[in-house]
Structure 1
Amino acid sequence: METTTKRTVTYRADGLTMTGHLALPAGTGLRPAVLIGPEGMGLSDVECRRADALAELGYVALAFDLHGGRYLADPEEMLARCLPLLADPDRMRDIGRAALDVVRAEPRTDPDRIAVVGYGTGGAVGLELGRDGAGLRAIGTVNALTTGRPGEAARIRCPVWAGVGSEDPIMPPAQREAFTAEMRAAGVDWRLTVYGGALHAFHHPTVDHPTVPGVGYHARHARRAWRDVLDLLAECLPLPEAVPEAVPEDPGA
């Protein structure tokens, strides 16, 4: 019985040597691909397990790096790197384009059928790829309602789904309103799901998260957000075979 394949890939972006996790489905034919962007701390087992699960379903999946192979568990160190990054769309696009180049170069990837699913800073990278006009089939974000430079959202040529916790102090109602106003003004096909009672990074298990105000894991909504991600992919990147009706549980949980 054929099985999925996993391997580490290295590539350059943002002046760093990035280390990503590539998961390939069984078989030999071309498959749609998904980039998975991590929260601000960086690539962890959570995103790698999600990439593996997508490969099991039949997608090529690359969980990409943000910090040159480092996981920034210390909140102050993470903010010191991420805040300037989030304020610089060109740097985020460089990180996203480099990951996109890696997955497009994979022989199993159908280069015309690629989506991005990002969490936190990784979601902001995905949105900037869209604003840069990258040929994506879908953009999904959780905890990343970042807005871009005026007018550039009009370059987004695919559906955008965003998820956020209702109690997220980092993405408060004013940020939701700014994001939705940008999407509406640009004529983007967008959706926003608000998960009642959830904090920032509600999808990410507590064991891997620094304890900071406004951050907290919510198991029920983590499962729901994963199902919403799979629904987005099923709509925009349908697989040659039907995905089982019994949707896999969130492997990152």
Structure 2
Amino acid sequence: MTSVTTRTVHYPADGLTMIGHLALPAGTGRRPAVLLGPEGPGLSDVERRRADALAELGYVALAFDIHGGRYLADPQQMLARCMPLLADPDRMRDIGHAALAVLRAEPRTDPGRIAAIGYGTGGAVALELGRDGVDLRAIATVNGLITGRPGEAAAIRCPVWAGVGSEDPIMAVAQRDAFTAEMQAAGVDWRLVVYGGALHAFHHPPTPSGQTVLPGIGHHPEHARRAWRDIVDLLTECAPVPAAR
């Protein structure tokens, strides 16, 4: 196992002080980098571990924050924060650009090889960076199949991968169709993987006992592993880590 270095980073965005998790791979040279956004409740150890796993693979990885250091375990509190955010592309872009600035400022980051991946709200943020014309090597979104303002997807300059559960009532068939129609009309290099039998947030391990979750949410461990492999394959294709010399 390679040596990974991690640290907490504080930065302003959306009128809050965000608290992200930066993971650096072994070595001293520049490496491709990945922004990693969380589901609606916010940044947790799940995303921190994913950033660490990406660093093990040789990427500089920043798991970014969306709620100013808070994890919104209460579904109603989460919805009260996330629904207005998801309806405001400029706010999502502000959150994404602030995290991107932190990632670009890291000396180990190769600024010409950055990808953005995210889950739910974090995936919507990654897509908005693409719609804003940010030079990214790849975008991946799980659950966050949010359509943008008309015509703006034409600014996406990289492949887009999306994953969703077939039984997800939040990202239902109509939403999937709207998203793929937007990508197709914009001429984006896109792909959509539908994981059979999976619900919303199928990638996320079970919440602590007693914590309330929204209907239609459930963990599917096999598909969670498959979605992670699919994302790693996308990164390998579009932002490969250089071979050790």
What's the TM-score, normalizing by structure 1?
A: 0.94
Deviation at 1:51, TM superposition (A): 0.2
Distance change in 2, residues 1:117/1:210 (3 Å) = farther
Q: Hey, what does 1:248 align to over in structure 2?
A: none
Q: 2: CA distance between counterparts of 1:138 and 1:210?
A: 34
Q: Which residue of 2 aligns with 1:196?
A: 196
Q: Any idea what SS the aligned residue of 1:197 has?
A: coil
1:1-16 matched pairs, under 5 angstroms: 3-16=3-16
**2:99: which partner in 1?**
99
Amino acid at match of 2:55: A
Q: Do structure 1's residue 29 and structure 2's residue 29 form an aligned pair?
A: yes
Alignment size in residue pairs: 242
Describe the SS at the equivalent of 2:194: strand
Question: Which stretch has the larger CA shift, 123-132 or 204-213?
Answer: 204-213
Q: What is the distance in 2 between the residues matched to 1:2 and 1:147?
A: 39
Alpha-carbon distance, 1:2 to partner? 6.6
SS in 1 for 2:133: coil
CA contact (8 A) 1:142 1:162 kept: yes
Letter in 1 for 2:53: A
**AA partner of residue 224 (structure 2):** A
Q: Which residue does 2:213 correspond to in 1?
A: 211
Which amino acid is the alignment partner of residue 130 of structure 1? Answer: G
| Mapped partners of 2:212, 2:17: distance in 1 | 25
**What is the RMSD of the two structures over their aligned residues, measured on CA atoms?**
1.2
**SS of alignment partner, residue 157 of structure 2:** coil
Q: CA deviation at 1:210?
A: 3.6
Check the 8 A contact 1:2/1:27 in 2, yes or no. Answer: no
User: Which residue of structure 2 aligns with residue 156 of structure 1?
Assistant: 156
Name the structure 2 match of 1:184: 184
Report the AA paired with residue 240 of structure 2: P
Q: CA deviation at 1:211?
A: 2.4
Determine what percentage of the aligned residue pairs are the same residue.
Answer: 79
Task: Letter of the 2:25 partner, please give it.
Answer: P
TM-score normalised by L of structure 2: 0.97
Separation (CA, whole Å) in 1 of partners of 2:142 and 2:235 = 14
CA distance in 2, matches of 1:185, 1:83: 26
- Counterpart of 1:168 in structure 2 is 168
2:232 to 223, 227, 230: 230
- Runs of 4+ off more than 6 Å: none
How far apart are the structure 1 equivalents of 2:160 and 2:121? Answer: 16
- Using the TM superposition, give the Cα deviation of residue 233 of structure 1 relative to its aligned residue in structure 2, in angstroms: 0.3
2:36 corresponds to 1:41: no
Task: Supply the AA of the counterpart residue of 2:214.
Answer: V
Q: What pairs up with 1:78-93 in 2 under 5 angstroms? A: 78-93=78-93
Q: Which amino acid aligns with 1:111?
A: P
| Residue number in structure 2 paired with 1:126 | 126
Give the Å deviation of 1:206.
Answer: 1.0
Partner of 2:161, secondary structure, is: strand
**Partner SS, residue 183 of structure 1:** helix
**Residue 111 of structure 1: aligned partner:** 111
Q: Distance in 1 between matches of 2:133 and 2:196?
A: 33
5+ long unaligned stretches in structure 2: none
Q: Is the 8 A contact 1:115 1:138 kept in 2?
A: yes
SS in 2 for 1:118: strand
Shift of 1:241: 2.1
Structure 2 CA distance for aligned equivalents of residues 80 and 156 of structure 1: 29
How many angstroms apart in 2 are the aligned matches of 1:236 and 1:135?
13
